[in-house]
Amino acid sequence: MHETGIAMEVLRLARETAEREGARRIVRLKVVVGRWSGVEPETLRFALETLREGEMLGSAAVEIEVREAEFECGGCGTRFGASGYFDPCPRCGQEGAELVAGDELLLKELDVEDA
Ligand SMILES: [Zn+2]
């Protein structure tokens, strides 16, 4: 389950960011998980909630935002949501659109409480 490693990395990044800002405590953190990132959102949430500890992170609320996959057609440039690479463009019917969003995994927001 690689979500554990990812969760540790997210928490490390959150802690470093908060420390750099001189915060005492992280109140809330929000992670964006692309539908196609290979990460299961609920598993990641569980890992984050299990691994958060200490004064800085122990009471941080975990928010997960799932971003749906978005494709861009190479023929006409239309962007559309699809369930897979083999879905044709809804406008011109061309196949083989490029994935432009939905494979990301990032720490998007951090609410902190100052010392
Ligand atoms: Zn098209």
Structure token digits, residue 49: 């909630």
Q: Other C-beta atoms within 10 Å of 62: how many?
A: 19
- Second-level CATH architecture of 3-68+103-114: 2-Layer Sandwich (3.30)
Cα torsion angle, 81, 86, 88, 89, sign = positive
- pLDDT (tens digit per residue) in 86-102: 889 999 999 999 999 99
Where do the structural domains in the chain lie, given as residue ranges? 3-68+103-114
- pLDDT (tens digit per residue) in 32-51: 999 999 999 999 999 999 99
Distance 25 CA to ligand 1 centre (A): 48
Average pLDDT over residues 23-35: 96
First to last CA, the chain: 35
Distance 101 CA to ligand 1 centre (A): 17
Confidence of residue 6 (pLDDT cuts 50, 70, 90): very high
Q: Please tell me the predicted confidence (pLDDT) of residue 1.
A: 62
Residues with CB under 5 A from ligand 1 (ion): 73, 75-76, 78, 89, 91-92, 94
CA angle in degrees (0–180, nearest 5) for 50-12-42: 40
Distance 83 CA to ligand 1 centre (A): 16
pTM: 0.85
Full strand arrangement of the beta sheet holding 23-34: 61-67, 23-34, 105-114
CA distance linking residue 53 with residue 51, whole number of Å: 6
